[in-house]
Amino acid sequence: MLADSLLLLLPESAIFESSALLPADLRCAMEETPVIPRVRLGTQGLEVSKLGLGCMGLTGSYNSPLDDDAGVAVITHAFRRGVTFFDTSDIYGPHTNETLLGKALKQLPREQVQVATKFGINLYEGSVCGRPEYVRASCEASLRRLGVDHIDLYYQHRIDTTIPIEDTIGELKKLVEEGKVRYIGLSEASPDTIRRAHAVHPISAVQMEWSLWARDIEPDIVPLCRELGIGIVPYSPIGRGFFGGRGVTEQVSAESNLKGHPRFSAENLEKNKHVYLKMEELAKEHKCSPAQLALAWVLHQGDDVVPIPGTTKIKNLESNIDSLKVKLTEDCLKEISNQIREEDVAGGRSCTYFAHANWNYADTPKK
């Protein structure tokens, strides 16, 4: 094919953004072989695969947990396919997700893997905590569960709005200086919190929900991250499986915590079905699945954007990797954005009981 011949003339680092060089009728075509490029998050030196793996579901969340062997198999298969960026948290399980990732790491070359984990959601107190002593204790516990001597990217999972962000980041800075943490990240942080945190110690990445049906970070958070040189790690880039057909072409699992999610209520799923059907039509035009198109849209948001879709199935992992084949021009991206709009989606993007911890409410007291 002409498209393949042209791609072969390009250096590997240029393949992902090469679509503008192709003839117009081939710009949205798919390559034969996906390449997972390496990109930088932030300006401090953190290099990761352009596509990461969110590990949360391996120990149960939207589904039943996998046994350890099956979970390790998913992680190691991802690594063999070029995914080196693995995302977990102490709250997943809780704790068992980090332990599972730690088992997988024993089968992988540690220096070639980037481990991201998080602290800040205190399950036992039912609260968010960013106190310095809690930060340190959480880090030490995560290091033990993961079986590593350092965490590549350590996020504050949710922002403690009772103490100044400077206190939390100050302790994280000490952990960097001690070599226990390489890079610092924030999740669901407000613009003011991001800016103040970055002034204490450079923030390498901000993890936020970003997908075709979750676009609220685009007006303020995305421009701020680019102003400060902070990478963006979108979680739930396939809409918690919605764009893969969850709740439309397949039932939501009885064990799934999505049963309590506003967008997955029976009433709202019925209302949102038209969004999926529209996505299905767009995917046919681009010769890919709806899930692949949803993920490709996120992947094309910039070189500083590294989505972390999760899955418990190797076939879905392969499908996610194949989304790198989907090449979208600016016109393609605009068309998709105009067709799939968050304002047409029924239900909030977060579970009601935890919506107060979203970035919109994540300012902290002044120091």
Which residues does the annotation mark as catalytic? 92
Helix, strand or coil, per DSSP, at residue 354: helix
CB 148 within 8 A of CB 181: no
CB 214 within 8 A of CB 349: yes
**Token output for 103:** 């088992």
CA dist., res. 3 & res. 223, Å (int) = 33
CB 84 within 8 A of CB 117: no
CA dist., res. 363 & res. 366, Å (int) = 9
CA dist., res. 260 & res. 199, Å (int) = 38
Residue 114 β-bridge partners = 85
Helix, strand, coil tally for the chain in percent (to 5): 45, 15, 40
Phi-psi region of 284 (alpha: psi -120 to 50; beta: other; left: phi over 0): alpha
SS (HEC) of 221-290 = HHHHHHHHCCEEEEECCCCCCHHHCECCCECCCCCCHHHHCHHHCHHHHHHHHHHHHHHHHHHHHCCCCH
Cis ω on the peptide bond leading into residue 109 (within 30° of 0)?
no
**Helices (DSSP H) in 92-190: which residue ranges?**
96-105, 132-146, 165-177
Pick from 180, 195, 184: nearest CA to 146 = 180
Neighbours of 67 (CB within 10 A): 10
166 CA to centre of own chain? 25
